[in-house]
Amino acid sequence: MEKTAPNHESQPLTSKKGDCKEGDDCAENGHLLKSTKPTLRLAENMHKAQPSQGDKGATGHISNGYSLAQSPSPGDGMEASVGVPCAAIMTTTTASPTCRVEVRQHPRELDERETWSKKMDFLLSVIGYAVDLGNVWRFPYICYQNGGGAFLIPYTLMAIFGGIPLFYMELALGQYHRNGCISVWRKICPIFKGIGYAICIIAFYIASYYNTIMAWAFYYLISSFTEELPWTSCTNPWNTASCTNYFSNQTIAWTRNSTSPAEEFYTRHILQIHRANGLDDLGGISWQLTLCLLLIFTVVYFSIWKGVKTSGKVVWVTATFPYAVLFILLIRGATLPGAWRGVLYYLKPQWHKLLATEVWVDAAAQIFFSLGPGFGVLLAFASYNKFHNNCYQDALVTSAVNCMTSFMSGFVIFTVLGYMAEMRHEEVSEVAKDAGPSLLFITYAEAIANMPASTFFAIIFFLMLITLGLDSTFAGLEGVITAVLDEFPHIWGKRRELFVLCFIVVCFMGALSTLTFGGAYVVKLFEEYATGPALLAVVFLESIAVAWFYGVAQFCSDVKEMIGFSPGWYWRVCWVAISPLFLLFIIISFMSSPMELRLFDYTYPYWTTVMGYGIGASSFICVPAYMVYRLAATPGTLKERILKSITPETTTEIPLGDIRMNAV
């Protein structure tokens, strides 16, 4: 870039610091440096420096709609503008031959947004968020239920055309606009701001039941510090006459009425579900689980109370430890007798199942909930990235790690299920009928208890479950915390620790119903109805708002500003059409055939289904409610109100060395 200097000589922007003259703009190490006299206005083709007092408020545009403003620095708040050829600053377009650099005193807070200490902190946080308990129990179960190895075909296709594009989109949005899931909509499409509030309510519901599962794992962990694991025998106070310990006595026959020691330990000692009669009579609160959950939330608080600077360090343990344990368990499982039976059952293709619609629905739902777009977490985490971070590469790497972890977890689970089938003299299909938490807390726990060095394997297994859950909890709560702090900085901006404490206390109080003797029924209800359909609908609207209202062309231009190249036609087609259709396909499938819920011997009555959908609607209602409020509060005719409501309100400030660019 060149500009006209007072001595009539063209001075290149890339000149060395020593060649810089008073009144000039210079570059050092790729950063545009402002001279000590910002009150001079230099226009292209002008040969004289002119005072710019009359043009303080003028802000020119560069290339694709950005203005330049100097970063805040201590001073008296003076401001000025400098006209410079735009092509030298933004080489992506050539919309304007001249632009101005605006030097203004901004509020100090704008420059104080924290960033990740290291790039690896961010990657481990995203991987820890995406790889959760569902990767260990849900994917293996869904895989063998829907055709084994054949299921990998719809799973891969849904990941390529649905899950990964949505994952990439959220990372790019968060990194570019540097805001949480509420305030980011002011810069995209204000009328959809209700999406952010809906996401926060959904995150609260998830925190109310998800951490209870970790409390179960923590109770198991405490119970594992014994010479003989308590779920290996039928002589405990909680056991019944149906308890059958076939491991200790091979002459005992396993019947359909038999229950294993592990099953009775889980249902009658950990959950105490026999003391509840259903959702209409949950019974009292388990004080043991309450203490476990209190300790879990205490760990969570001190991990996230200071922001990503602290949580980014914690994930070095919580995100990597599960992989070490999975590898150990995979090696141990592969050496067990009958392990090959489980692997064969896991991967044997059943090609005819690919013709069934529910297989494709399960594949789409699994990849969506596994990668986790729409929870506000990716927006929050990416907002703490440096502006020019390669979020495209991050999206591909973390998505691939997530999918490969799910696949590897299947081998960890099914080698053990094959071993169980060998011991019971049953088919793997009979042993593998448990789904969800029961697969971990009953089937896998029982297999571990009958291995050599069972105490060691039990301890590391339940530690792995806790660390898997902690990562996701850190992320889910951070999504809400970032959203609220960005939306209400004048209230909570300097009181993060207090807000985090208040929010965690509210989540703990919301989880009390899951700590009752019938709490497992509540967990199942929240998991299936209160979050899934509402979240799908919210993310569907989010994809429409970004691709159709904000505009895929503008979004791709934003991405190019960050990483230097624009997304190709594949990504554009996915964002505009395929990903929204992908979400719509899942939503219609969910709504057209609501599942009949059953847990153990309890079948959920019809009114519980209505209540579940009602809880889900309580979050989604924020979207239309805010649209009505927005249109009512905006002055003008209906057409003017709509146009104002879909037009971005504020600019996005983009750091460029010591210069701040505002996207307008």
Percentage with pLDDT > 90 across the chain? 45
Report d(CA 110, CA 654) in Å as an integer: 11
Identify the pLDDT of residue 308. 86
What integer best gives the mean pLDDT of the chain? 80
pLDDT digit string, tens, across residues 75-85: 343 344 444 44
Tell me the pLDDT band of 88, cut-offs 50, 70 and 90: very low
pLDDT higher at 309 or 508: 508
Asked if residue 87 has pLDDT above 50, the reply is no
Three-state SS annotation for 129-170: HHCCHHHHHHHHHHHHHCCHHHHHHHHHHHHHHHHHHHHHHH
Identify the pLDDT of residue 254. 63
pLDDT digit string, tens, across residues 28-67: 444 444 333 333 333 333 333 334 333 433 333 333 334 3
pLDDT higher at 625 or 662: 625
Identify the pLDDT of residue 661. 53
Asked if residue 434 has pLDDT above 70, the reply is no
Q: Which of 96, 102, 6, 98 is nearest to 43 (CA)?
A: 98
pLDDT digit string, tens, across residues 95-130: 444 444 444 433 333 446 788 888 999 999 999 998
DSSP 592: H
Antiparallel, parallel or unpaired: β 659-663 and 66-70: antiparallel
Asked if residue 158 has pLDDT above 70, the reply is yes
Distances from the Cα of 221 to the Cα of 108, 162, 254, 455, angstroms: 47, 37, 28, 10
**DSSP string spanning 109-125?**
GGG-----SSHHHHHHH
Tell me the pLDDT band of 609, cut-offs 50, 70 and 90: confident
Report d(CA 630, CA 624) in Å as an integer: 10
Cα four-point dihedral sign 483, 488, 492, 498: negative
pLDDT digit string, tens, across residues 412-428: 988 988 888 887 777 88
Asked if residue 479 has pLDDT above 60, the reply is yes
Tell me the pLDDT band of 383, cut-offs 50, 70 and 90: very high
pLDDT digit string, tens, across residues 390-410: 999 999 999 999 999 998 998
Asked if residue 94 has pLDDT above 50, the reply is no
185 in Cβ contact with 499 (< 8 Å): no
- How many other β-carbons are positioned within 10 Å of the β-carbon of residue 100? 24
Identify the pLDDT of residue 47. 38
Identify the pLDDT of residue 612. 85
Q: Which of 418, 403, 494, 488 is nearest to 160 (CA)?
A: 403
Token pair for 213: 């599962």
Centroid of chain to Cα 634: 33
Asked if residue 360 has pLDDT above 60, the reply is yes
pLDDT digit string, tens, across residues 276-333: 988 988 999 999 999 999 999 999 999 998 888 888 889 999 999 999 999 999 999 8
Asked if residue 68 has pLDDT above 60, the reply is no
Asked if residue 657 has pLDDT above 60, the reply is no
Identify the pLDDT of residue 359. 87
Report d(CA 402, CA 369) in Å as an integer: 11
Asked if residue 92 has pLDDT above 80, the reply is no
Most confident of 18-22, 247-251, 333-337: 333-337
Asked if residue 542 has pLDDT above 70, the reply is yes
pLDDT digit string, tens, across residues 560-599: 999 999 999 999 999 999 999 988 988 888 777 777 788 8
**What residues contact residue 564 under an 8 Å CB cut-off, 6+ apart?**
388
Q: Which of 62, 65, 66, 63 is nearest to 83 (CA)?
A: 62
pLDDT higher at 649 or 461: 461
Asked if residue 541 has pLDDT above 70, the reply is yes
pLDDT digit string, tens, across residues 209-240: 999 999 999 999 999 998 889 998 888 899 88
